[in-house]
Each structure stands twice: as structure tokens, then as C-alpha cells.
A and B are shown apart, each in its own frame.
Chain A
């Protein structure tokens, strides 16, 4: 199986570090991390990752706005997006689903199982 390329968009440095290390450690995926929605969109356009992990709560441009922008852009609309959120409220889940997000991973996530969750959510072969 070819190496997966994942883009992580999260303003929280600890999450970026831990998620990147976890995915690189458990699956040797290539993980690029950025701290804002704007950067994330720009990277997604050029890097064309296999999946985007997107934090829901970020300053300036939150996960929802970023998701909308990604889905509105023809170069990024087909990249599967998984939301990372610390809130367990499901009201916004429907909104994410309508915008085309594939799954929600609840923070704090299990670093040992993050890759497994992504694989299951996106039906990636393991």
C-alpha cells in the first residue's frame, strides 16, 4: 500500500505534535501540519493530501468555514475531511455531514488508535 498523505489543520500545537507523531509512528504516513484554516486551504490545494483532519474550533476561520471553503474549491472538494472536535454536541454534526465531512473524531483522541479511526472512517485498506 502506498504511503498516505494527511494534512492536519489545528491551532493547538500539542495536538499537531501528538497527532503527527502518532500517525508517523503507527503508520509511517506523511503528515503535514498547519495552524490555521487559511494555511490549510492553501496547502491542500497544492499538496493534495489523501485526507484532511480539521479542528472545529479555531480563531478567525473555524472548522466549519474551512470545510465550506475546501468543499467550494474544485481542487480540494474531493479530499475527504474528518473533523476533530472537543465538543460532544451533535447539533453541528449534521451541518458537517451536509457539507460533506466524513466523520468526527472526538478530542481527546487516543494517539494509539488515531490511524485506525481514520482508516475505518475512510474505508482505507489496512
Chain B
């Protein structure tokens, strides 16, 4: 059990801490009311012992604040004032008991035990589970009358389970309850401790008393006779799930989960985890809501100070970002609207609307969380990869040229690789497509081979810029080159800086680097391949799987090309295409469809909705890039003519 002691008398605090620690309580000790409040916010204490006279925030004020915030565990006040009035004031402030100093540590311990017992709603001071008995006053544990030997931590863990027999404790909750700040180990220690306690219990004949609930934590099972009764009732219905007890660690439970749970109606482990997390975080969430409530009250009095507005805004922001994960998607939406209302510039005067939103949020959070549904969540957005140095493939046997080029290109962040044969060049092209190819066409013997290379580049890498170095070439040779490639030709005698300037110009002109592509597609494989492909071509791809936020994203991203799928959740790609075309701002946006459908009706619908082009699966990279390149260049051309 974990206790918080708030006492400013350092000597007394140390003595009490030692006494309580000797009784195996985990104790955090702080010396002023404000720190006490902060600790109580951060940790779920089983009981708080408060001195009345404390600096910063006195014990009575702290007690009131704790109760107002919804703290429900016992609070014990500790004070030198023994007057009847002082006691009444203390109890009225929300304390459960009152101990007058000086008191013996035995008395304090007994009061603490009594309060913890009361919390458990048990009349008997002895905690029992079947024939297992734990007596907190003597700290003895027996099973069928025989002593069970436990270490201090094992005892504390068993006591925790016995005090809260139905409660599921996560590893972090067990850590919080059993260890103090000064000695806080990791989850692994909890697993070891659970294992040890199970072993101790098994040694005396208690098998599988503590069960692992996957994704949630550990719980004391019902005693055997109760289990039997439950089993009989359940087996009549034919739905009793086999127990998943005695599994060490969540992993084992995960493996057993599909077998041990009925396939239907059982919430997924993630669902269960989210619900369990809600019970853990409900209170802090409601505290955030109280900051918004305060803003409502202040707005109604006509004076919402900027700092209170900001606090409410931050609270709404946090709620918007988290409620959906716990099963409150509407709660997230309402919080976002509340945040927007508070951020409005100029400030909105419609206080009734604001209050309405807050009331709806209250109402929503009073109900249970919903099952998680992936369509309630926004898709992630891929950002383009950070710019890498450009790469240039030099196809030449001229080592002097290679050296000069490498030296000159390095400061310009252009990496130069070299291929001396057409085969090497093709290998590099397919393995890691460079940003530009520079082909030395001056060697007469290799001219035909190089022409073949230019042809291959033109067909396989149609948008890849190519630069050819020539000697004084005849017109027929130039004609041959121009027939198989759109490469730019330069005389080899050109100065290296001029050559580099040409390289950079082509790189800039031909790269997709500044092309912003927004793709709506809910097929992760397609999204992945688009990402891989477009990253290689240096385009900036933004993807959405769900059209919910499409309109906002369209405006924010302002893409150069829109890629749509026909089938999308809720709104079809064809409808989206029509919506885009109905807005003058997006009239010229190139729209390309990737589709499974090749039937004439669908194609007609796609083009009729205003799309520029479509590609039916399976499509090749070359085809896709070529169509995309065409679409972009036509669009740029039409804009330049406007």
C-alpha cells in the first residue's frame, strides 16, 4: 500500500516514515501543501496523512482541494490541536479521521489500518480468500491455518490484491502502490514479484490465484468455490471461457487469447486496454474539463482573463487529442470545436454556443466509451524524405573527366558515380536510379552501344534527364541521337563549370522535387508503392486513406496533382473528383485515377467527373511516372500560356 505523508516537521516526518516503512507501506514524504497536492495528482495513493499546519497550502485547504478534485481515498489529519472545534473543522474539510499529536506510532498505524479497512468495506480486520488469511495487524498470512512465509514485498502485493479483490492492477499501478519515489524499479520487477508470489502460493497448494489479463494487468481470481459456482452457471449457457490464469507475463496471455476467448462479442485486447486506460485517466480528463467549465462561468460574468482562456484552450486541445483514443470520438470533435471557439479571432461573443458545446461534452463523458472504430480516426500523413545529395551517373571511360567532375560536383552536393560499359550503366540505373545521366558520346567505337543506352533510358526512365557529350558531330549522328533520346548535347570541350551549370539546370527542371502529390487511397500496399516510387522521383507525397479531412487537407497541401481511388470509404473518388472540379480554385488541378475497374462505365464516370487520366491495375512504374509527367508538363504548359 502506498501512502503520502505531508508533514513539515522533518524529525517527526522521518520518524513516522521509518515506522510506516517498517510495516511495509511505501511512503512518500513531502513537507508542504503545494507539493503534497502535486504528488497526490501524480500518484494514486491508498491513503494520505496530512499535518494541519503546513507551509504554502495548509492541511485543511489541501484536504478540501483533494476532495473537490474527486480524491476518494482516506485522508488522515495529524495535528497538535485537540479542541473539539478543530476536529469538527478537519472532518468537515473532508478528512476521514483525526489524530492528535503527540501520538504513538501504534495508534497511527491502527488508525491507518482501520481507514484502509473501511475503504475496503470489510468489517473484519482479517483479509480472506478461501482458506487464505492475511491479518494486517500481525502481518501474518496463513493458509488452512498454516503460516505462509512471504517477503515484505510479496506480503504487500498480496495485501493489495486482497484489499481490492475485483480490481485489475497494471504493472505501473503496482509499482505506484508498492514502491516509493526513492526506490522505483521497472515493470520487470513487478513481473518477477508476481511470479514469486504465485510460486509461494503454489507451494502451499494455492494454484493460479492471480490471473494475468492481457494488456491490462493482474487480478486476484475469485476463490475456488465462487469459481465453481460461476463455472456451473456459465457452462449452462455454454459460454464459459477457459481460464487464462497462471500465465507469467502478458506475452503468454497474448498467445492464449485467441484460444481462450470466444470469437464473438469479445472486445479486442486493444479495446480492453483502451477501456482500462479510460478508468485510469478519467479523473485527470474531467479535471481538464473543469478548467473549461471555469471559462464558461467567467464568460457568463463577462470577464474571462487571458490566462484562464489560455488554460481552457490548452485543456480543450489536450482533450481533443486524446478522448477519441479512449472511445470518445465525439468527445474529441467537441473538444476541438471548443478549442476553435476559444481561439477565434476576433473572439466569438456567442457564449450560448460555447456553453452548448461544453454541456454536450459533459453529457458525452458521463456515458461509457464506445468501441474503437478505425473510421473515426484520421490517417497519418507521410512527409517527403529529407533532401539527399543529387546523384549523377557518368557513362564514360575517361578517367580524367571523372576526376574533374567529381571535384567540381562535390561542393554542389552532387555525387558522381561512373560506369564504363553499357551493362554497368544499366545495372546502376535499375539499382539506384540517379538524378541525371551524363553519357560520353565521343568514343566512336562505343557510339552504337551508347545509342542503345539512350534508347533504354528513354523507354525505361522517360523523365530522367540525360546530357550527352559530343565531339564535333555530324548532322546524321545528331539526328540518330535525337530520334532515340531527348538528351541535351554539349561539346566535350565545354569548361567543367559550364558543364556543371548544365547539369544543375537539368536537375532542377526535370525533377519532381517541388511536385506536391496528394493521394487518396485506402489500400496500404498501393500507398506504400506510391511512396517508394515517388520518393525515388523526389516528389512530395501526401496520403489520406479517408476522405473525411480531404477538403481541409486539399487547401492546406495545395497539391500539384491529385491521385484518387474509385472506391473510398464514405465518399467515392468519383464524387470527390466532381466536388474538386466544382470549385474554381481547383479547376486546373490534374487528377489521375488509380483503379481496379476497367469497365467502360467506370472509365466513363471517371472522365465524366472531370479526371484527366486513369490507370488501371496492374500498372507499371514507367507507365505511372510517364502519365504523371505528361499530366504535370501539360498543366505547367497550360498555366504558362495563361
Chain A contacts to B: CB under 8 angstroms? 12-15, 17-18, 21-22, 24-26, 28, 57, 82, 85-91, 93, 96-113, 116-117, 120-121, 123
CB < 8 Å neighbour of A88 from B250, B274, B552 = B552
CA distance A85 to B270 in the complex (A): 21
CA distance A73 to B172 in the complex (A): 32
State whether A89 touches B556 (Cβ < 8 A): yes
State whether A103 touches B380 (Cβ < 8 A): yes
- Which residues in B have their C-beta under 8 angstroms from that of A14? 277, 280-281, 284-285, 322, 325-326
Interface residue stretch chosen among B73-81, B230-238, B356-364, B370-378? B370-378
Given contact pairs A24-B250, A101-B383, A120-B380, A107 touches B322 in the complex (Cβ within 8 A): yes
Q: Is B547 located at the chain interface by the 8 A CB criterion? A: no
- Which residues in A have their C-beta under 8 angstroms from that of B280? 14, 17
CA distance A36 to B538 in the complex (A): 33
Shortest CB-to-CB span from A36 to chain B, Å, is 15
Interface centre among B321, B324, B379 (most CB of A within 10 A): B321
Given contact pairs A88-B549, A89-B556, A106 touches B380 in the complex (Cβ within 8 A): yes
- Which residues in A have their C-beta under 8 angstroms from that of B320? 86, 107-108
CB < 8 Å neighbour of B322 from A12, A105, A120, A121 = A12
Query: Please, could you name 10 A-B residue pairs with CB atoms under 8 Å apart, sorted by A?
Result: A86-B336, A87-B317, A101-B383, A108-B325, A108-B332, A110-B372, A112-B374, A116-B524, A120-B380, A121-B382
> Which 10 A-B residue pairs are closest in the complex by CB-CB distance?
A86-B321, A108-B324, A90-B556, A107-B321, A97-B383, A106-B378, A110-B377, A100-B386, A14-B281, A112-B270
Q: Is B355 located at the chain interface by the 8 A CB criterion? A: no
State whether A110 touches B250 (Cβ < 8 A): no
| Other A-B pairs beyond A12-B321, A25-B215, 17, CB < 8 Å | A18-B274, A18-B322, A18-B325, A21-B215, A88-B378, A88-B556, A97-B386, A98-B386, A102-B385, A103-B383, A106-B379, A108-B321, A110-B376, A110-B377, A112-B374, A116-B524, A121-B382
CA distance A60 to B323 in the complex (A): 24
State whether A109 touches B325 (Cβ < 8 A): yes
CB < 8 Å neighbour of A103 from B277, B381, B553, B557 = B381
State whether A121 touches B285 (Cβ < 8 A): no
Q: Interface majority SS on A: helix, strand, loop or mixed?
A: mixed
CA distance A104 to B386 in the complex (A): 14
- Which residues in A have their C-beta under 8 angstroms from that of B214? 25
Q: Is B531 located at the chain interface by the 8 A CB criterion? A: yes
State whether B532 touches A90 (Cβ < 8 A): no
State whether A22 touches B270 (Cβ < 8 A): yes
State whether A104 touches B531 (Cβ < 8 A): no
Interface centre among A86, A100, A116 (most CB of B within 10 A): A86
CA distance A108 to B323 in the complex (A): 7
- Interface residue count on the B side (C-beta < 8 Å): 53
State whether A111 touches B378 (Cβ < 8 A): no
Interface centre among B254, B329, B377, B379 (most CB of A within 10 A): B377
Complex interface bits, B233-277 against A, C-beta within 8 A gives 1, otherwise 0: 000000000000000001100100000000000001111011001
Q: Is B503 located at the chain interface by the 8 A CB criterion? A: no
Shortest CB-to-CB span from A52 to chain B, Å, is 14
Q: Which residue of A lies closest to B558 (CB)?
A: A90
State whether A120 touches B556 (Cβ < 8 A): no
CA distance A15 to B268 in the complex (A): 19
State whether A111 touches B270 (Cβ < 8 A): yes
State whether B318 touches A113 (Cβ < 8 A): no
Interfacial residues of chain B within 441-488, with CB under 8 A of chain A in the complex:
none
- Which residues in A have their C-beta under 8 angstroms from that of B17? none
Q: Interface majority SS on B: helix, strand, loop or mixed?
A: helix
State whether B383 touches A112 (Cβ < 8 A): no
CA distance A28 to B552 in the complex (A): 35
Q: Is B27 located at the chain interface by the 8 A CB criterion? A: no
- Which residues in B have their C-beta under 8 angstroms from that of A57? 317
State whether B325 touches A105 (Cβ < 8 A): no
Given contact pairs A108-B322, A117-B380, A25 touches B531 in the complex (Cβ within 8 A): no
State whether A25 touches B321 (Cβ < 8 A): no
Q: Which residue of A lies closest to B382 (CB)?
A: A103
CA distance A57 to B321 in the complex (A): 11
CB < 8 Å neighbour of B284 from A13, A25, A89, A101 = A13
CB < 8 Å neighbour of A109 from B215, B273, B377, B527 = B377
Shortest CB-to-CB span from A109 to chain B, Å, is 6
Q: Is B156 located at the chain interface by the 8 A CB criterion? A: no
Shortest CB-to-CB span from A107 to chain B, Å, is 4
- Which residues in B have their C-beta under 8 angstroms from that of A117? 379-380
- Which residues in B have their C-beta under 8 angstroms from that of A116? 524
Q: Which residue of A lies closest to B323 (CB)?
A: A108
Q: Which residue of B lies closest to A26 (CB)?
A: B270
- Which residues in A have their C-beta under 8 angstroms from that of B324? 107-108
Q: Which residue of A lies closest to B285 (CB)?
A: A14
State whether A18 touches B528 (Cβ < 8 A): no
State whether B556 touches A25 (Cβ < 8 A): no
- Which residues in B have their C-beta under 8 angstroms from that of A109? 325, 377
Interfacial residues of chain B within 585-602, with CB under 8 A of chain A in the complex:
none
Complex interface bits, B561-601 against A, C-beta within 8 A gives 1, otherwise 0: 00000000000000000000000000000000000000000
- Which residues in A have their C-beta under 8 angstroms from that of B270? 22, 25-26, 111-112
Shortest CB-to-CB span from A38 to chain B, Å, is 19
Shortest CB-to-CB span from B429 to chain A, Å, is 22
State whether B556 touches A123 (Cβ < 8 A): no
- Which residues in B have their C-beta under 8 angstroms from that of A15? 321-322, 325
State whether A123 touches B325 (Cβ < 8 A): no
- Which residues in A have their C-beta under 8 angstroms from that of B268? 112
- Which residues in A have their C-beta under 8 angstroms from that of B552? 88
State whether A28 touches B273 (Cβ < 8 A): no
Q: Which residue of A lies closest to B328 (CB)?
A: A108
- Which residues in A have their C-beta under 8 angstroms from that of B380? 82, 103-106, 117, 120-121
Interface centre among A28, A101, A109 (most CB of B within 10 A): A109
Q: Which residue of A lies closest to B172 (CB)?
A: A17
Q: Which residue of A lies closest to B269 (CB)?
A: A25
Interface centre among A96, A101, A120 (most CB of B within 10 A): A120
CA distance A85 to B323 in the complex (A): 14
- Which residues in A have their C-beta under 8 angstroms from that of B557? 90
- Which residues in B have their C-beta under 8 angstroms from that of A97? 383-384, 386, 540
Interfacial residues of chain B within 311-357, with CB under 8 A of chain A in the complex:
317-318, 320-326, 329, 332, 336
